[in-house]
Structure 1
Amino acid sequence: MMYPLKFDTILKSVIWGGSEICKFKNLPKCQDGIGESWEISQVKDNVSVVSDGSLKGESLTDLMSRYGDKLLGKHVVDRFGDKFPLLIKFIDARDNLSIQVHPNDELAKQRHNSFGKTEMWYVISAQEGAGLYSGFSKQIDAEEYVKRVNDNTIMDVLQFHPVKSGDVFFLPAGRVHAIGKGIFIAEIQQTSDITYRIYDYNRKDANGKGRELHTELAKDAIDYNMYSDLKTIYKPETDRAVELVSCKYFTTNLLDIDKKIKRDIADKDSFVIYICMEGETELTDNNGVKISVRRGDTVLVPASLQWVEISPEKSGKLLECYIPEI
């Protein structure tokens, strides 16, 4: 019998990582410098493993092979086959991350035989004055982009966005972006680990060597169009789903609850992922299976389940994510 699944956390130690992830997830003390926690992943060499219940120890790939559309949903299997379409992360930036861009599906397939990378960020917390980069502040073209990378002025044409807890940014493939220092986010993205690094603030390692840039690869991946309103505007509401992002790769809702709510699964023909941002809740499925979902937990609800009830101890805030039919 399928049931809501939790997975072992995959922690990533990086030079720009901080100390927020272990505290947020209430993990046993771990080393400083943890920049990412991969919550649900089928990326090569980083495949999630079930952490509890009768399926404990099973990998996500094994579950997909065994259960197919009962786990994923028929339209998800028809569209993505044996590839899990999403990668769920927490990211803690103690330092500025590099300016980067991701290719779209067509370019990623051509160059890397991979999905492209469209993603979204939900800001969990941010230090005073912290911000991120998303999009251009003035119209440029590919020729000016290369010139500005070479003369170290690319930062002059990027949009800087001060951020606070609860802010949301949607980042389609092709949009130049970077997370600034002092920001802790939840990230929902296509399953892809392809990043083109554009600029890294001229930082050097202990040997005086800078990180590799992908100037030419990025040139053809960038969307040079100008956009306004790059931050997602939404109206918070209590005890109902508030849509944050809806695109062909995922739909994400915010659930801010102080009483029991019921969420239908059957009508989506997709797995549903819940990521707990605040509080402590109990999730009960239509078979009567109950699990605790605390701050920092991520749960995958199989498509074969009919519904789940989410009951907060006092209050809870969760992201709800699934694959829409197109």
Structure 2
Amino acid sequence: MPVTERNVFAAMAPFRVEPRFVGRVWGWKDLHPWYDRTAKDEPIGEVWLTGDDCAVATGPHAGKTLGEIFAEMPRAMLGENAPSGDSPLLIKVILAREKLSVQVHPDDRLARKYGEPRGKTECWYVLAAEAGAQVAAGLKAGVTMDAVKAGIEGGTLEESLKMLPVHAGDMIYVDAGTVHAIWPGSVLLETQQNCDLTYRMYDYGRGRELHIEKSLEAARLKTKAGKVMAKVLEDRTVLVEGEYFCVERIPVEVSRSSTSLRREDESKAGLAYLFAAEGTGRLASAGFGTVELPARGIVAVPASSPVFAIQDTGGLDLIRITPRWPEKTE
């Protein structure tokens, strides 16, 4: 009998996802102590935690890609409310040794104009930061599009950027259309729409392709980008809740397990990702046994997951990331 969504499981157990290490010219050869990984050739700048090509590491579907799981079992993964069966979020760890390009991402409308399914709104949660670390999120007040064009041509675009100092624990929201850049000195957990469209405006003469016309078409002089104030609730801290995603810190005490990650206002279960920003944890249930959560690792919790407990097995700092669906407009 072929494997289908109907006959695999009524409930689908959580599973760990294998990270995918992606080469970037601005990255590091050695990712220690963040990951036990050393680049053989091109430096590594991004660790993709939920990319479609990432492999499932545990459970009965081990060896399949995350993209294959969503294609085969969209309802089990996403629940009833999802508008499509696509994997909704791409989650990465960004480790920059040099400045990234000055860039912009398209919104949904512009991405679809050029044949892509969706645009790219994202956020950055600062896992670590050196003294003086900065990112650019938006343009300074009063900057015109003509000034942006002149900055691209003259190599002075940095002068128009709104720079933000960053510290561990900060959350920065970067909506589509925001001219932005990541500078060295911080390690970021990036949550974004599942899209890797980047239009480079300026790249410090590194010889990579630029996308001047599309970047100018996508760029907005004013956006919602900037630092987000955390909202502290009784059982969690909401770091950001936007149109496409919600990112939260969930306390798990060593002395007892956390058995509920759902909020009272969540009427139906949906997909969640659990990321260990620090330390290690374990998911445990009579229904599926245990799933280990290593430091800087991620576990996918399908919408159809059985009830489980989360245990702190050593200094766990737990981040929960869930997709949101934008309201449809006529």
1:69 is aligned to 75
- Distance in 2 separating the partners of 1:253 and 1:286: 26
- Distance in 2 separating the partners of 1:226 and 1:65: 34
- Distance in 2 separating the partners of 1:28 and 1:199: 29
1:223 is aligned to 220
- Distance in 2 separating the partners of 1:285 and 1:233: 34
- Distance in 2 separating the partners of 1:296 and 1:22: 12
1:153 is aligned to 156
Amino acid aligned to 1:191: N
1:245 aligned onto 2:230: no
Alignment length (residue pairs): 310
Q: Which TM-score applies when normalising by structure 1?
A: 0.87
Query: Following TM superposition, by how much is the alpha carbon of 1:139 offset from its aligned partner in structure 2, in angstroms?
Result: 2.1
Superimposed CA distance per residue, residues 29-63 of structure 1 (whole angstroms, 9 cap, x where no aligned partner): 55482111111112xxxx12211222111222332
The match for 1:261 among 258, 266, 282 is 258
Query: Following TM superposition, by how much is the alpha carbon of 1:112 offset from its aligned partner in structure 2, in angstroms?
Result: 3.2
1:163 is aligned to 166
Query: Following TM superposition, by how much is the alpha carbon of 1:236 offset from its aligned partner in structure 2, in angstroms?
Result: 6.2
Query: Following TM superposition, by how much is the alpha carbon of 1:285 offset from its aligned partner in structure 2, in angstroms?
Result: 4.1
Contact 2:135-2:181 within 8 A present in 1 as well: yes
Contact 1:264-1:308 within 8 A present in 2 as well: no
- Distance in 2 separating the partners of 1:133 and 1:298: 27
Contact 1:269-1:303 within 8 A present in 2 as well: yes
Pair 75,21 (structure 1): closer, same or farther in 2 beyond 3 Å: farther
Contact 2:16-2:293 within 8 A present in 1 as well: no
2:135 is aligned to 132
- Distance in 2 separating the partners of 1:164 and 1:270: 31
Contact 1:4-1:285 within 8 A present in 2 as well: no
1:12 aligned onto 2:22: yes
1:57 is aligned to 63
Task: Write out the 4+ residue segments of structure 1 that deviate beyond 6 Å after TM superposition.
Answer: none
Amino acid aligned to 1:173: A
Contact 1:21-1:37 within 8 A present in 2 as well: no
Query: Following TM superposition, by how much is the alpha carbon of 1:118 offset from its aligned partner in structure 2, in angstroms?
Result: 0.4
Amino acid aligned to 1:258: E
- Distance in 2 separating the partners of 1:194 and 1:98: 13
- Distance in 2 separating the partners of 1:30 and 1:145: 36
1:3 aligned onto 2:9: no
Pair 139,307 (structure 1): closer, same or farther in 2 beyond 3 Å: farther
Pair 176,308 (structure 1): closer, same or farther in 2 beyond 3 Å: farther
Pair 41,285 (structure 1): closer, same or farther in 2 beyond 3 Å: farther
Pair 28,142 (structure 1): closer, same or farther in 2 beyond 3 Å: closer
The match for 1:116 among 116, 119, 144 is 119
1:107 is aligned to 110
Identity value in percent? 29
1:234 is aligned to 230
Gaps of 5+ in 1: 205-209
Query: Following TM superposition, by how much is the alpha carbon of 1:148 offset from its aligned partner in structure 2, in angstroms?
Result: 2.3
- Distance in 1 separating the partners of 2:48 and 2:117: 19
Query: Following TM superposition, by how much is the alpha carbon of 1:264 offset from its aligned partner in structure 2, in angstroms?
Result: 4.3
- Distance in 2 separating the partners of 1:195 and 1:112: 14
Partner SS, residue 80 of structure 1: coil
Q: Which TM-score applies when normalising by structure 2?
A: 0.86
- Distance in 2 separating the partners of 1:151 and 1:222: 18
Partner SS, residue 81 of structure 2: helix
Partner SS, residue 216 of structure 1: helix
Amino acid aligned to 1:15: V
Amino acid aligned to 1:56: A
- Distance in 2 separating the partners of 1:249 and 1:285: 29
Superimposed CA distance per residue, residues 142-166 of structure 1 (whole angstroms, 9 cap, x where no aligned partner): 2332122212222112111121211
Pair 89,212 (structure 1): closer, same or farther in 2 beyond 3 Å: same
The match for 1:41 among 22, 36, 51 is 51
Pair 101,71 (structure 1): closer, same or farther in 2 beyond 3 Å: same
Query: Following TM superposition, by how much is the alpha carbon of 1:80 offset from its aligned partner in structure 2, in angstroms?
Result: 2.3
Superimposed CA distance per residue, residues 230-267 of structure 1 (whole angstroms, 9 cap, x where no aligned partner): 11122667x82111111221111112433421224584
Gaps of 5+ in 2: 1-8
Partner SS, residue 112 of structure 1: coil
The two structures, once aligned, show a CA RMSD in angstroms of 2.3
Contact 2:275-2:296 within 8 A present in 1 as well: yes
